[in-house]
Amino acid sequence: MADTVIVALSGGVDSAVAALLLKRAGYALEALHMTNWEDDEDGYCTAAADWQAAREVAAELDIPLHRVSFAAEYRERVFRYFLDEYAAGRTPNPDVLCNREVKFGVCLDYVRRLGGGRLATGHYARLEAGPARTRLLRARDRGKDQTYFLQQVPPAALERVLFPLGELPKVEVRELARRAGLPVFDRPDSTGICFIGERPFRDFLAGYLPASPGPILTPEGVELGQHGGLMYHTIGQRGGLRIGGSRGREAAPWYVAAKDVARNALIVVQGHDNPRLYSGSLQTGAVSWLGPAPDAPFDCLLQVRHRQSAVPARVEPGPDGVRVVLAEPLRAVAPGQYAAFYDGDECLGGGVIVAADCAAQRYN
């Protein structure tokens, strides 16, 4: 059984094709369907439909299918952090933490208990084994690349993982599923945070965190209105402010520039390209490096959101994290999000952004 690959079968087309490719390659293959969120009081959770889809795929491929719930671990290791970060006025990314703690944490441990040697998933990423370590590389399909979400996965875990879709474009993945007769070939991709699904985000948060209204202010301290809670807003946001034109000011849209947690105030500015929306440098907490930790400043590419293009930056290691100086100011850097570092296609690791300035500092 040590050579058996366990594929994480979510019920979507990506994991189904990952299983298909491994089956065709001759691997001893079994499947595992995990559930990380079990509340469905308002009908938004798709867990039942996902399980049924996974069953149909496993039956079509004639592979054994196991089922497990990691809902308790998810609440303790991911969801509690998610709520604490929003309560502190930051904007967390629980999907990054879920990969580290659940999918490639407790799930990988469970694979061992099942007798599996490796875990395969439908992530769009590539792994390159080397004499010293396994390198995490961007997927060939840059539009689907998910290495940003994998930046915190421990190197030891990557040694026991397979990403069969890393070389394929998404359009080919769907075509492979269609030609193979997989019942999920046209199933829509899941969107949003995994445990929230398509439900209204504001309503979801309100069910767990108390409302804390406060003032909406300009940088000069002029009050323009009231917000319902800092947790409902993020840096760079335009919609949902409910403040119209202000007498004596230009009729330009307002954007969130900062959160003043001490005053429970939302700081807003006018104009999409207002200088206060741009950061010249940022600071992270402790960085999870996928290779040797650097001990001197180095140049690399920085990515602070999943769908944002990587930009040139200089990383300056420190005792509690790194300082990152950008070659060009970057818009809407939000504390709580992750900064991922790249050397070409290779993901070097990343850390949580704890602060960002609005000065256009550059390196030479």
Active site positions, annotated: 98, 194
Handedness of CA 278, 286, 86, 72 (dihedral sign): positive
197 three-class SS: coil
Residue 262, SS3 per DSSP: coil
Sign of CA dihedral 286, 287, 290, 296: negative
Closest C-alpha among 261, 268, 245, 347 to residue 301: 347
Longest dimension (CA), the chain: 73
Distances (CA, A) of 357 to 206, 275, 325, 354, 362: 30, 11, 10, 11, 12
Within 10 angstroms of residue 19's Cβ, the number of other Cβ atoms is 29
Residues 6 and 18: their CA atoms lie apart, in Å, by: 11
Both tokens of 110, joined, read: 């469970």
Given the structure tokens 């290791």, which residue do they identify? 77
Tokens standing for residue 338: 């992750």
